[in-house]
Amino acid sequence: MPSTDAEPYLRVEDLSVSFPTRDGVVRAVTGMTYQVALGKTLGIVGESGSGKSVSSLAVMGLHDMKRTQMEGSIRIEDTEVVGLPEDRMRRLRGNAAAMIFQDPLTALHPFYTIGAQIVEAYRVHNPDVSKREAKAKAVDMLERVGIPQPNRRVDDFPHQFSGGMRQRAMIAMSLVNNPKLLFADEPTTALDVTVQAQILDLLQELQRDFGSAIVIITHDLGVIAEMADEVLVMYAGRCVEYGATREVLTHPEMPYTWGLLNSVPELTGDPEEALLPIPGSPPSLLNPPNGCAFHPRCGYSHLVPADLCTRELPLLEPSPRGESHLKRCHLLDPENDMRTHEPVVDDDVLEQPDLVVADRVQAPDQQTLSTAGDSNG
Amino acid sequence: MAEAATSASRGAAPLLEVRDLVKHFPVKSSGLIRRTVGQVQAIDGISFSIDPGQSLGLVGESGCGKSTTGRVLMKLYEPTSGEMLFDGVDLAPLSQRQMLPHRKDIQLIFQDPYSSLNPRHTVGTIIATPLQVHKVVPEKQVIDRVKDLLKLVGLNPEHYNRYPSEFSGGQRQRIGIARALALTPKLMIADEPVSALDVSIQAQVINLLQDLQREFNIAFLFIAHDLAIVRHFCPEIAVMYLGKIVEIGDRDTIYNRPHHPYTQALLSAVPDVKQAAIGGRRDRIRLQGDVPSPINPPSGCRFRTRCWKAQDICAAQEPPLLQIGSAEHQVACHFAEPNTNILATSA
């Protein structure tokens, strides 16, 4: 296990989340285990549909409980969250743990002033506080996150704020009850780079001041490199690599992480150097590939004997680089293999349409449609 | 003008030459008599040129006018003033009907592969439509041409009768590229062509665009906010801020010796995986505040409200875009000076 110096504040163990749908069970997260200590930041990276957001919604109890099957254990400090009744979850949410969403425009209510929304968040957990005091607190918080003229801006509506200011206001709202755990789900994806830099600085500064544990969920490896102490890479609902950020980004032990790092261009070095993309598309969680979910796109599975990659799911186990760097790969020494071998990928991967989706649209009514469209075209 | 110098120095006529292009959108008052109460100055006098088969990157933050530029070039918006010489013909005054024959030479690749393809049309219909509108191939050969195009962008040609919903985001973007490619345009305007795609897919699409560019000698106006991708794709880059080009130059100058404070700040704000991973940290230039409104931009230099170098002159006088050093490099700043340390790592 990646070690943390302090006692972890959040412990997630063997968490699985699935949604039964009309087309089958979507296994959004399978067997995920991680922990975060106070004052530390964990980065969760993954592509769309890798289950990274679902795992955090589950911790916050924000999923639709009736339609979700959850297994495993989530402990925030000493409280087990899985199976917690909604009224107790409600007390925990906002107080012990809070969330910052990607799009501040949809996460803030357009009909209420910024101040009113912060006041509400504060008074829900502190019912004895008067409205006047709560408003003073809201102004305080807005000042804390760097909104100019907080006295005046507290009465503004979300549409009167710019994108960066809205994200600041949302951070103010999530921090108003001084939560020890903060989930930031793509907190800067909707923002421009210069504003992104401001928000990342702000999060780091607030973490220093409040000593909170942060889980930052993103697809941007640059944000991870900058913010996270540890990184967890997700692919098709499972953790495929987990370890200290520097360690994982400089010595990736899973071909997927390796591929991600090779496919992003850099700001330094040879600009003409060809990018090495990962072929194909991420799999559907409705019907993930057998064995290692990454094998259809992996350029190194030919190095594993006996088609093990297509048949058997590799375990999340310590890599040759040590106990604290976990990888899910059948290769015994992946980094070495990836540095010394050229990737070999089946050309078919590229051409294949999203098979699962294609299967689904083979319903009779769609078939008639497609023949009709055919004769038109 | 400096554009003339740029093209003269290469000895070839540019494919596209934009001179003092302006696009203002009127802001109307509410109520019965909708008077014009202001102008959104989306583009305010920009000039650049692109040679055949070359790529110009247009970077800047949201609201800087980079997408509007692409749309004005397509005549999806009428320019307020200025010239847009494409192959020697000024497109600016042309009516939509007069524009039609030129449209097949300029094609657009959109950002969002979900909303830019009609969900009720098959991929075949989507790609065939431009061929039929411009009657570039006989009706009987349309299907064959569609299949060729699908193959060219790395999709299975036999999938022409499928619907966009059957494809993933990256594959849809390939369909959009096939549609743009159908008329073998001379200029492609790619407006954030990969920003809606997953990281692992972005490189596929970038590589595809580069292959196509080489094969068909297509010029690109590459509009993006991702500075690393623009650096990879474009040998020349223009940086926009609030409707103006503040710095334009070749890749090496813009990234290694940026002169404009905004270019410097923009570059220093990009998180760099490999640098951060080895524990290095760049000295950051942190900009305060947000981009001001283009309805009422600051007087003088538009960047002055966020600039750490700003003096009185910046409010009083607008800095012209002046040539610095080589003919290709121009900067609009009263206090332009190179900073070679932006991307350097301090451990």
What is the tens place of the pLDDT at every residue in B65-118?
998 999 999 999 999 999 999 999 999 999 999 999 999 999 999 988 888 999
DSSP B163-215: -GGGS-HHHHHHHHHHHHHTT--SEEEEESSSTTS-HHHHHHHHHHHHHHHHH
Chain B residue with minimum CA distance to A164: B290
Residue pLDDT, tens place only, B23-66: 999 988 877 778 888 889 999 999 999 999 999 999 998 888 99
What would you report as the CA-atom Rg of chain B, rounded to the nearest whole angstrom?
Answer: 21
pLDDT range class, residue B13, cuts 50, 70, 90 = confident
A119: its two tokens: 């006041």
Dihedral angle sign, alpha carbons of residues A213, A215, A220, A221: positive
ipTM exceeds 0.90: no
Nearest CA-CA distance, residue B330 and chain A, Å: 21
Q: CA nearest B113: which of B183, B218, B186, B204?
A: B204
A4, pLDDT greater than 70: no
Neighbour tally for A123: CB within 10 Å? 17
Instruction: Identify any residues that bridge with B237 across adjacent strands, giving them in sequence order.
Output: B57, B249
Name the residue facing B270 among A267, A272, A353 (closest C-beta): A267
* Domain boundaries defined on chain B: 2-105+185-331
DSSP one-letter string for A93-127: BTTTEEEE-S-HHHHS-TTS-HHHHHHHHHHHH-T
The minimal CB distance from B199 to the residues A47, A196, A271 is found for: A47
Q: How confident is the model at residue B9 (pLDDT cuts 50, 70, 90)?
A: very low
* Pick from B154, B200, B270: CB nearest A263: B200
Q: Determine the residue of chain A that is closest to B195 in CA distance.
A: A189
Q: Which of A192, A264, A279 sits opposite B62 (nearest CB)?
A: A192
Residues of chain A with C-beta less than 8 angstroms from the C-beta of B146: 377
Nearest Cα of chain A lies from the Cα of B23 at a distance, in angstroms, of 23
**Whose structure tokens read 């300029």?**
B106
CA–CA dist A202, A145 (Å, integer):
7
| pLDDT value of position A367 | 35
* Gap from B113 CA to chain A (nearest CA, Å): 15
Distance between CA atoms of residues A108 and A169, nearest Å:
9
Contact list, B204 vs chain A (CB under 8 Å): 277-279, 350
What pLDDT sits at residue B277? 66
Contacts of A80 (CB under 8 A, 6+ apart): A73, A74
Instruction: Specify the amino acid at residue A316.
Output: L
On whether the CB atoms of residues A299 and A346 are closer than 8 A, the answer is: no
Query: Percent of chain A at pLDDT above 70?
Result: 90
DSSP-assigned states of every residue in B220-248? EEEE-S-HHHHHHH-SEEEEEETTEEEEE
Please state, in angstroms and rounded to a whole number, the distance separating the CA atoms of residues A44 and A201: 19
Does position A354 have pLDDT exceeding 60, yes or no?
no
> Which residues lie across from A230 on neighbouring strands?
A42, A244
DSSP code, position B255: H
Give the separation between CA A82 and CA B317, rounded to whole angstroms: 63
CA B105 to chain centre: 17
pLDDT digits (tens, 9 = 90+) for B133-154: 999 899 999 999 999 999 999 8
**What pLDDT is attached to residue A335?**
87
Q: What is the pLDDT of residue B346?
A: 53
Q: Inspect the interface and report whether the beta carbons of B124 and A263 lie closer than 8 Å.
A: no
Residue with more model confidence, A189 or B344: A189
Is residue A206's pLDDT more than 80?
A: yes
- Convert the pLDDT of each residue in A227-278 to its tens digit: 999 999 999 999 999 999 999 999 999 999 999 988 888 888 888 888 888 8
pLDDT in tens, A284-338: 888 889 899 999 999 898 888 888 999 999 999 999 888 999 999 999 888 888 8
Please name the fold of domain B2-105+185-331. Rossmann fold (3.40.50)
- B2 pLDDT exceeds 80? no
Cα–Cα dist B75/A201, whole Å: 41
Query: How would DSSP label each residue in B144-174?
Result: HHHHHHHHHTTS-GGGGGS-GGGS-HHHHHH
- Do the Cβ atoms of B163 and A373 come within 8 Å? yes
Residue B280 pLDDT grade (very low, low, confident, very high; cuts 50, 70, 90): low
Please say if the pLDDT value at position B125 is more than 50: yes
Please state whether the predicted TM-score (pTM) of the whole model is above 0.80.
Answer: yes
Joined tokens for residue A45? 């990276």
Inter-chain CB pairs, A–B, below 8 Å: 195
Other CB atoms within 10 Å distance of the CB of residue A20 = 11
- According to the model, what pLDDT value does residue B344 have? 73
> Residue B336 and residue B249: Cα distance in Å, rounded?
14
- The whole-chain average pLDDT of chain A stands at 85
pLDDT tens digits for range A211-223: 999 999 998 888 9
Q: What is the pLDDT of residue A155?
A: 94
* CB nearest to A354's CB, from B167, B201, B291: B167
What does the pLDDT read at residue A3?
47
| Average of per-residue pLDDT across A123-140 | 93
Q: What is the pLDDT of residues B180-192, one digit of tens each?
A: 999 999 999 999 9
Q: How far apart are CA A114 and CA A108, in angstroms?
A: 8
Three state DSSP letters for A228-281: CCEEEEEECCEEEEEEEHHHHHHCCCCHHHHHHHHHCCCCCCCCCCCCCCCCCC
C-beta atoms of A192 and B143 within 8 A: no
Are the beta carbons of A139 and A156 closer than 8 angstroms? no
Q: CB distance A279–B204 less than 8 Å? A: yes
What pLDDT was estimated at residue A242?
Answer: 96
> Is the model more confident about A2 or about B336?
B336
3-class secondary structure, A72: strand
pLDDT of residue A348: 57
Taking alpha carbons only, the member of B27, B248, B237, B271 closest to residue A266 is B271
How close does chain A come to B261, measured CA to CA in Å? 13
Looking at the DSSP bridge assignments, the partners of residue A36 are A10
Strands (E), chain A: 8-21, 24-37, 41-45, 69-76, 79-80, 97-100, 181-185, 213-218, 230-235, 238-244, 316-319, 322-328
pLDDT at A359: 36
Q: Which residues pair with A16 in a beta bridge?
A: A71
* Domain segments of chain A as ranges: 106-177
| pLDDT of residue A2 exceeding 80 | no
pLDDT of B169 above 60: yes
Give the closest residue to A234 by CA, choosing from A59, A98, A54: A54
